[in-house]
Structure 1
Amino acid sequence: MSAALKVSTQPRPGSRLEVAVEVPGARSSASYEQALQSLSKSVTLPGFRRGRVPRAVLVQQIGIQRIRASALEGLVDSIWRDAMAQESIEALGQPELREGFEALLERFEPGTDLTLVLELDVSPQPKLRSSRNLTAVAESVAYDPAKVDELIERSRRELATLVPVEDRAAAAGDVALVAFEGTYTDTEEPIQGGRSDAMEVELEEGRMIPGFVEGIIGLSPGDAATIQCRFPDDYPQEDSRGREARFELTLKELKSRELPELDDSFARSAADKESMAELREELETRLREEAERQSRSNRHEALLEALVSELEVELPETLVQQEIRALIEQTATQMAQQGMDVNKLFSRDLVRSLMESSRPEAEKRLRRALAIKALAESEDLAIAEAELESRIKEVRLELQQSRQSSGEIDEQRLRDAVQEDLLRTAVMDWLESNSTVREPEPDTAPEAGASDTEAPAAATTPSPAKRKATKPADAEG
């Protein structure tokens, strides 16, 4: 490293640091000479060998301003690296020249002392106003014995035999094969994706938009009808929200379910159990465990929110942008796994929109991570190396099995992720032991099943008949 630099620092808002560096004239002169040598090796002039162009000719051909700019670029880069190392400053990303490069270039004179003022993001220093005796409100989830029968009945329906119906009208619970074409009644425009020549519809409430299933019930195979519907205000397709629609529909086929008997044969078909008693016992155990997991998740969520409310920190923009990019990459990966062409879908406008909409979630995730870090440091919570190594081996094996190959694993990312997960668990266990969690008041309790109308299947426990199909996904963690 070169001779010690004279460096002064000043904290700035947003977890930024102003760094002023006094550059001696000898250092700026050396940078200028180095730029001349470098440019001399890259320039080819008739009559001269590469690297042997006389100084005066080189200056005349390239121009003094280009040489000065090249010298200043190299000087700024070497100075900020030396200053960061000398002062033990951990910079996040590249620094910025406070006055800008062009303004600095105007006053740059090789051989003359120069003061550089850099601004850069640095790691935030999170602090907790308090971490002990926090109070949080979380709803516990009780085991409901009735759900055992619900799951068995759902599995029974899934294993039912579909029998063609020709001698009666469609009724609730049937499966209808329909052809339809939808039109918005306000504009008479066809509904995008609102047409099918043959689609199976389960005639159950909530399966389709309001009015659609009700319009099919009562029809007989071969009947045609006009069905009036209204799209919900929260319908996923924004253009359709709240709009009235008309569907010209024909019932092509109708089938009813022939349910299997609830006997030991059913238990074997549904979940590889030897008897109905064994099936019920397994479902009860699973539902009790699920209720406890959900209760614990609710407590942890509430405690983490309480902890974050005690956090004092300024988020550096560099970290926020990194987290936003991570969220977008996660979204892209999920879409690609669903078979979507990410390269076509992710236009510049979409990426820009995602970056804006992802910011609140990115900041939330950062605050939570920093709150966990601050608590771990203040309470001296650490993960034993043996525990860390053991868990890394387990996760590595799970990843290799889920990929069904020996694909490369980023070991450092794996270690960081596992350590973060273990530390979070340790922090949450500590919070549970040193905080108070109470049930919400009856009038403030979250509405049970608030998300059921959007994704009823995703919010419930898989039925026994589906369990075999979900085992590989469960194993991936």
Structure 2
Amino acid sequence: MYTLKITTEPLGNRQLLLTIQVDEERTQQAMRQVARRIAKEVRIPGFRKGKAPYDRIVQRYGEDTLRKEAADMLVQDVYREALEEEGIESYAAGVLDEVILNPLTFEFIVPLHPTVDLGDYRSFRLTYPRVEPRREEIRLALERMRQENAVLEPVERPAALHDVAVIDLVGRTDKGEVFFKDDNVHVLLDARNSYLAPGFAEAIVGMEVGEERTLVLTLPDDFPREDLRGEEAEFTVTLVELYERILPDLDDDLARTVGNFDSLAELRQHVEQQLRQAARERADREYTEQVLEAIIRRARIEYPPVMLEQELDEVVKEIEQAVKREERLSLDDYLRIRGRTMEELREELKPQAEVRLKRALVLSEVIRLEGLEVSEEEIGAHIEKIGALWKGQADEVRSSLNSDKGRQAVRSHLLAQKAVQRLVAIAKGDMEEAGSSKQEAEK
């Protein structure tokens, strides 16, 4: 029985340097197997195929050549044996970092499974914010309803702010290229409305119906055409129609107009309830995010680099699918048009992938420590819920989600949800109260 001389050295980041020296007798045996194969495949002068002696093969091809091929023959078996002998549980396949031919020695970088230490996460508390809509929010919501129900009255006077102007418009670059042309465009003359370019609305103020005016304005930095951003442009504007916006009074009539309300007081109460609900949902999202960020920040998380690369692959794949769906382009074409490389994209997305990976690892540890489970009934109910959202494609979606892979994805999703809910309950102190109630019941 041949023995392996094995040494290990932790490298940090959940990686291990595994050095394996192969017994010389085993190496020589492998080299002789290589020589026999060569003798059968290659005609050696003075010998029939398969009859050339070992020494003649070594003389013709060199010992290093035989050692290299013997190394290729042994490497996988030797690596597997070393893992078993040392009891090493690798996260993924090790990377062969170096080969020394004499004595035959392999050096592998072995990625290990991640570790997550959440510390005393059950002692973490975070005060939930008080949620009440402010009077100003209610006032602004009612004012928006007035604005949305304004009546447009045609007027014969110079245009003023807050009017609605109907214009014919042609936009040209400083070289005379027409980059925009449209007729009967409705524009609200509001100083905050930077239609096409900042200052556009104010520049129309004072025009009369039938008048033509030329405007020179600077296009904004977020203009759709990248080559025109920050450039000066000339706009030829003809005022076709002009309307004054007549706002309704804030009264019972407005309440009846905007919905099934008998009075302004009833409408105000409805608005307040909606704002409170929206504020609560927003507070829930923000609170949940704060809890997760705090738990992740307090945790000690280590993972091998290959794990981050795998998560990065998933993020890039999602970007690729989005580009194909929204831009009708391959990711390679999309990047080429924007003068970027895949390496630059991956580097840009790396922080996002790292956040996702840490979150997934923390939630997996919460699931393990809290003993969270998902029943087959819960999985089935979730699949039905998702399928119902797709209406015409419901059967196709249900079929996909009911596959082994689909059900596993649903299980993982629901477990992650439960882990988040458990952390939120802990942060609020609800788990402590639940524990106290249980203890009282047991007494």
Q: Is the shorter-chain TM-score for this pair beyond 0.5, marking a shared fold?
A: yes
For 1:306 and 1:349, the matched residues in 2 are separated by 35
1:157: Cα distance to partner? 5.8
Out of 252, 262, 270, the residue aligned to residue 254 of structure 2 is 262
* Alpha carbons 1:135, 1:306 under 8 Å: kept: no
* Stretch of structure 1 that moved more, 348-357 or 83-92: 83-92
Over 3 Å counting, the alpha-carbon distance change for 1:155 and 1:86 in structure 2 is farther
**Which residue of 2 is the match for residue 20 of structure 1?**
19
1:394 match: 381
- Map 1:424-435 to 2 at 5 A: 424-433=420-429
Partner of 1:312: 300
**TM alignment of 1:241-390, pairs within 5 A:** 243=230, 245-251=232-238, 253-254=240-241, 256=243, 262=254, 264=256, 266-267=258-259, 283-343=271-331, 344-347=333-336, 349-375=340-366, 377=368, 380-386=369-375, 389-390=376-377
Deviation at 1:16, TM superposition (A): 0.7
Unaligned runs of 5+ in 2: 432-443
SS across alignment from 2:370: coil
The residue that corresponds to 2:416 in the other structure is 420
What per-residue deviation string (whole Å, max 9, x for no partner) do you get for residues 269-319 of structure 1?
xxxx68778876665444322211211222222222322232223342112
Matched, 1:195 2:195: no
Distance 1:164 1:53 in 2: 103
The verdict on how the C-alpha distance between 1:295 and 1:67 changes in structure 2, with shifts beyond 3 A counting, is same
Tell me: CA distance 1:339–1:29, structure 2 relative to 1, closer, same or farther (3 Å).
Answer: same
Alignment of 1:127-146 (within 5 A): 127-134=117-124, 141-144=131-134
1:76 aligned residue: 75
Aligned to 1:174: 164
Distance 1:175 1:37 in 2: 92
Q: What is aligned with 1:91?
A: 90
Q: Is the 8 A contact 2:115 2:303 kept in 1?
A: no
Instruction: Tell me if structure 2 keeps the 8 A contact 1:231–1:245.
Output: no
Larger gyration radius, structure 1 or structure 2 = 2
- The amino acid that maps onto 1:321 is E
**Partner residue in 2 for 1:228:** 217
Normalised by the size of structure 2, how large is the TM-score? 0.70
**Alpha-carbon shift at residue 80 of structure 1 (Å):** 2.6
Residues 119/259 of structure 1: CA separation in 2 closer, same or farther (3 Å cut): same
1:231 is paired with a residue of what secondary structure? coil
Corresponding residue for 2:437? none
Counterpart Cα distance in 2 of 1:34 and 1:7: 24
Out of 82, 101, 105, the residue aligned to residue 115 of structure 1 is: 105
Post-superposition CA distance 1:362-415 (Å, at most 9, x none): 2223233334444555xx3122333xx344223322443444241423323332
Asked whether the 8 Å contact 2:138–2:268 carries over to 1, the reply is yes
| Percent identity over paired residues | 22
Aligned alpha-carbon RMSD (Å): 4.7
Alignment check: 8 A CA contact 1:91 1:120 kept? yes
Change over 3 Å in CA distance of 1:21–1:247 after alignment to 2 = same
- One-letter amino acid of the counterpart of residue 428, structure 1: V
- Could you tell me which amino acid in structure 1 is paired with residue 254 of structure 2? L
> 8 Å contact 2:156–2:209 — kept in the other structure?
yes
Amino acid across the alignment from 1:245? E
1: CA distance between counterparts of 2:231 and 2:170? 16
Post-superposition Cα deviations, 1:227-282, rounded to whole Å, max 9, x if no partner, equal 434736x88987777x4634323135446468897364642xxxxx6877887666
Q: For 1:139 and 1:433, locate their aligned partners in 2 and report how far apart those are by CA, in whole Å.
A: 14
Which runs of no fewer than 5 residues in structure 1 stay unpaired? 46-51, 268-272, 436-477
Matches within 5 A, 1:202-217: 202-208=188-194, 209-217=197-205
When structure 1 is superposed on structure 2, of 303-312 and 130-139 the one drifting more is 130-139
**CA, structure 1 residues 120+250, in 2 after alignment: closer, same or farther (shift >3 Å)?**
same
